[in-house]
């Protein structure tokens, strides 16, 4: 089974492609079958207010990552090769994990989902509840492990 991970930022030229590149490198280095993962990134229009609507525009679409980010990533052995693209309705159906880089990105994704229809919003709500449960469970386990080895907060 393939696990889909999508990173989302504003213009898809800096943070989300960097996260995509770093995550791909980690998966390829540490996972026996990297094909088990589908990793991508996208943006929320780069500041265009109508990016998710029919005939809407998305700033930076088709551009490569910001040159400064590519330079810094290369110093650490990461290669940022993706091209900027906006989030599309199908992303919400096909990716298991959608990681937004900040709260504004979360709000933009939710706004687009509302526009795209109730079925898409249902998918997002289900995914958010599942992610919250997984993170809460992980935090509880981490707290228990920390307590077991003698560290206290």
Q: Which residue in the list 14, 15, 40, 66 is annotated as catalytic?
A: 15
d(CA 148, CA 153): 12
| Per CATH, domain 3-124 is 3.40.50.2300 | yes
pLDDT in tens, 112-139: 988 988 777 777 777 777 777 777 777 6
- Report domain extents, the chain: 3-124
pTM: 0.79
* Partners of 98 in beta bridges: 6
Is residue 102 annotated as a catalytic residue, yes or no? Answer: no
pLDDT in tens, 81-115: 999 999 999 999 899 999 999 999 999 999 998 89
Closest CA to 41 of 11, 66, 79: 11
Strands (E), 10-91: 37-43
Burial 59-97 (b: 16+ CB within 10 A, else e): bbbeeebbeebbeebeeeebebebebbbbebebbeebee
**What values do phi and psi take at 13, rounded to 5?**
-125, -5
Is residue 119 annotated as a catalytic residue, yes or no? Answer: yes
DSSP character for 35? G
Q: Which residue in the list 36, 90, 102, 119 is annotated as catalytic?
A: 119
d(CA 115, CA 13): 24
């Amino acid at each position: 089974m393939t696990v889909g991970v999508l990173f989302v930022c504003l213009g898809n030229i800096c943070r989300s492609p960097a996260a995509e590149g770093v995550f791909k490198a980690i998966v390829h280095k540490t996972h026996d079958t990297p094909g088990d993962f589908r990793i991508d990134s996208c943006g929320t229009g780069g500041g265009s207010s109508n990016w998710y609507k029919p005939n809407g525009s998305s700033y930076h679409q088709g551009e490569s990552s910001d040159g400064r980010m590519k330079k810094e990533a290369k110093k650490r052995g990461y290669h940022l090769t993706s091209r900027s693209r906006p989030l599309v309705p199908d992303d919400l159906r096909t990716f298991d994990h959608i990681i937004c880089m900040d709260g504004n990105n979360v709000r933009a994704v939710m706004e687009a989902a509302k526009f795209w229809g109730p079925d898409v919003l249902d998918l997002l709500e289900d995914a958010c509840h599942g992610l919250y449960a997984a993170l809460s469970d992980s935090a509880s386990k981490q707290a228990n492990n920390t307590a077991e080895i003698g560290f206290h907060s």
